[in-house]
Amino acid sequence: MVRRSLFPCRHRGCAALVRTPGYCEKHAGEAVGWKRDHLRGNRRQRGYGPEWDRLRLLILKRDRYLCQCDECRRTGRVLAATEVDHRIPKAEGGADDPGNLGAINVDCHKRKTAQESARARARAKK
């Protein structure tokens, strides 16, 4: 019988091996910041229902479907925007106020979200 190879624990620096991808028993509760989809709720429960769709379209039109992220504005880069971002994230006290929203390119949005996520993880460790 062929044995399946084991996977390393996802916790940084842990040498434990597990049968399925994920965390070892010692680090199982350390998946900080992220919740499984069924615990997060659907988009409407998270505040992204029909009202958000209308506001999103309004913001995209206001910004002429052009990326308004800090880097693009600073460098004069012109990129098409298809998403709307909270300048101050909701997790840091931002609101759905049009002054806090801006059109953003997909790649810029991913980069900004990754930075915000890193800040959240750093706060959680303190």
Where exactly are the structural domains of the chain? 51-125
Query: How sure is the predictor about 1, in pLDDT bands with cuts at 50, 70 and 90?
Result: low
pLDDT tier, 31 (very low <50, low <70, confident <90, very high otherwise):
low
In the predicted model, is pLDDT for residue 102 greater than 60?
yes
- Tokens 């988009």 correspond to what residue? 43
| 33 pLDDT above the threshold of 60 | no
User: Would you give the DSSP letter of residue 22?
Assistant: S
What is the structure's pLDDT at 3?
A: 74
Residue for token digits 């800040």?
A: 119
What torsion, rounded to 10 degrees, do the Cα atoms 39, 41, 43, 44 define? -160
Residue among 100, 101, 91 at smallest CA distance from 121: 91
Higher pLDDT among residues 116 and 91, named by residue: 116
Name the pTM for this structure.
Answer: 0.68
Residues 9-24 have pLDDT tens digits of 888 788 899 988 888 8
pLDDT at 126 over 80: no
Go through 48-83 and write b for each residue having 16 or more CB atoms within 10 A of its CB, e for each that does not: eeeeeeebbeebbeebeebbbbeebeeeeeebebeb
Query: How far is residue 82's CA from residue 68's CA, in Å, rounded to a whole number?
Result: 11
